């Protein structure tokens, strides 16, 4: 990474105006009845999905969030899971379709126009992650093992990646690259592994972190793979040469979630230190951070503009004083961006 050039110059060299992050604001809206586990934008950015320990999926129209005062009344509930819903993924081509996984050992595929699952597929164990192939034809779901489903042909998995024999090498997160040619998995022993797709031949393995490798993300330009870990570091890997292009290490606390923005310039990093950090993918410079008053469980950039959705784990002191029965719960979906809520967050 070139750390000699100021970040503003980095933006200008690519013909991009520099965001004034300090002028951005944040807001939240509560629609769930329990902790929000994951948030994600549809491919066109017109909707946000959120899933929760309250067993529901909720669909938020963009206008409910991209405003000074978000409106939870506009979020529609989708019901079907019988246990906590852990993650969702939108179809990469159709903004009406998405999939969710749950502790109830099912993968459910939804059409929001029907407000009910179109497919319910059984999994061998509770699942924490789900991802679509860029073609939209295949979904991967699981945790300790990863099952791959062809949604058009069969309810049985067409392929399974087993957990490694070492008990510590649990699959924490997985994603496809933007062109669908690579599938990457990060594991509890600090490693990440990439496989060629659809052959599943091993491509590259690396001991990336000194603690758990907790999350990963391919940039949309397919140039980089980002990995985050329990060692409070985000690594930037060159996908063509499989060398490190640098690290983002001015962080405190385990990295829980990362999201690269639409033009592959910035990464949002959610950590256990109750902050969301915005950093340059190209220089590693921390550009901005804001306090969330809670561990940042999930972050997701809007696909077309600088608008960040995120979810946190804890309630605020004010919320606890109003209802002492609430402990360690955040049922709010939160957003941060230009023209949103209260500036200076």
CA distance 343 to 345: 6
- Which SS3 state, helix, strand or coil, does residue 200 take? coil
pLDDT at position 303 is 95
Residue 264 backbone zone (phi > 0: left; psi -120 to 50: alpha; other: beta): left
CA distances from 95 to 44, 115, 168, 220, 249 (A): 6, 14, 37, 18, 35
Per-residue tens of pLDDT for the chain, all 345 residues:
444 556 566 666 777 777 889 999 998 888 899 999 999 999 999 999 999 999 999 999 988 886 667 788 889 999 999 999 999 999 999 999 999 999 999 999 999 999 889 999 999 999 999 999 999 999 999 988 999 999 888 788 999 998 654 555 567 899 999 999 999 999 999 999 999 999 999 999 999 999 999 999 999 999 999 999 999 999 999 999 999 999 999 898 999 999 999 989 999 999 998 899 999 998 898 999 998 888 899 999 999 988 999 998 866 455 556 666 554 557 889 999 988 876 555
pTM above 0.95, yes or no: no
* Residue 68 burial (10 A CB sphere; 0-12, 13-18, 19+): exposed
The label of the residue with tokens 């019988």 reads 82
Size of the chain in residues:
345
Give the distance, in angstroms, between the CA of residue 308 and the centroid of all CA atoms in the same chain: 11
CA distance 76 to 127: 24
Sign of CA dihedral 151, 156, 160, 163: positive
CA distances from 260 to 126, 270, 306 (A): 27, 12, 11
Q: List the one residue out of 161, 178, 258 whose CA is nearest residue 216.
A: 258
pLDDT at position 2 is 42
Task: Find out whether 294 and 327 touch, Cβ atoms under 8 Å.
Answer: no
CA distance 304 to 263: 9
Which residues neighbour 318 within 8 Å (Cβ) at sequence distance 6 or greater?
none
The dihedrals phi and psi of 113, each to the nearest 5 degrees, come to: -70, -30
The helix/strand count (H/E) of the chain reads as 2, 29
161: which 2 tokens? 């990646």
- On the question of a cis peptide bond just before residue 187, with omega within 30 degrees of 0, the verdict is no
Task: Find out whether 252 and 295 touch, Cβ atoms under 8 Å.
Answer: no
The domain ranges of the chain are: 23-314+328-335
pLDDT at position 319 is 57
Q: Which CATH class is domain 23-314+328-335?
A: mainly beta
Q: List the one residue out of 261, 118, 89 whose CA is nearest residue 176.
A: 89
CA angle 271, 276, 278 (to 5 degrees): 120
Q: List the one residue out of 225, 152, 224 whose CA is nearest residue 192.
A: 225
């Amino acid at each position: 990474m070139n750390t000699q050039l100021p970040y503003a110059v980095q933006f200008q060299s690519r013909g991009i105006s520099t965001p004034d992050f300090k002028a951005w604001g944040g807001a939240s809206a509560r629609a769930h009845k329990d902790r929000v586990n994951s948030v994600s934008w549809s491919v066109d950015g017109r909707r946000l999905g959120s899933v929760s320990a309250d067993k529901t999926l909720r669909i938020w129209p963009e206008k409910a969030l991209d405003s000074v005062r978000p409106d939870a009344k506009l979020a529609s509930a989708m019901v079907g899971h019988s246990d906590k819903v852990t993650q969702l993924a939108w179809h990469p081509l159709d903004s009406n379709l998405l999939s969710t996984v749950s502790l109830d050992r099912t993968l459910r595929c939804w059409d929001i126009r029907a407000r009910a699952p179109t497919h319910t597929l059984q999994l061998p164990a509770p699942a924490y992650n789900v991802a679509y192939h860029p073609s939209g034809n295949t979904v991967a779901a699981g945790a300790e093992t990863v099952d791959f489903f062809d949604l058009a042909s069969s309810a049985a998995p067409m392929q399974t990646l087993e957990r490694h024999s070492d008990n510590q090498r649990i699959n924490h997160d997985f994603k496809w690259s933007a062109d669908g040619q690579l599938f990457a998995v990060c594991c509890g022993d600090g490693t990440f592994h990439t496989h060629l797709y659809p052959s599943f031949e091993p491509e590259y393995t690396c001991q990336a972190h000194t603690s758990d490798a907790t999350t990963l993300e391919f940039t949309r330009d397919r140039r980089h793979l980002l990995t985050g870990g329990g060692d409070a570091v985000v690594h930037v890997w060159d996908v063509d040469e499989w060398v490190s292009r640098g690290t983002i290490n001015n962080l405190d606390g385990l990295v829980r979630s990362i999201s690269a923005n639409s033009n592959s310039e910035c990464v949002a990093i959610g950590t256990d230190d109750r902050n969301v950090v915005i950093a340059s993918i190209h220089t590693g410079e921390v550009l901005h951070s804001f306090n969330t008053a809670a561990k940042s469980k999930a972050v997701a950039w809007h696909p077309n503009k600088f608008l960040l959705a995120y979810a946190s784990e804890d309630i605020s002191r004010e919320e606890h004083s109003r209802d002492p029965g609430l402990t360690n719960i955040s049922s709010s979906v939160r957003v941060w961006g230009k023209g949103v809520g209260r500036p200076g967050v």
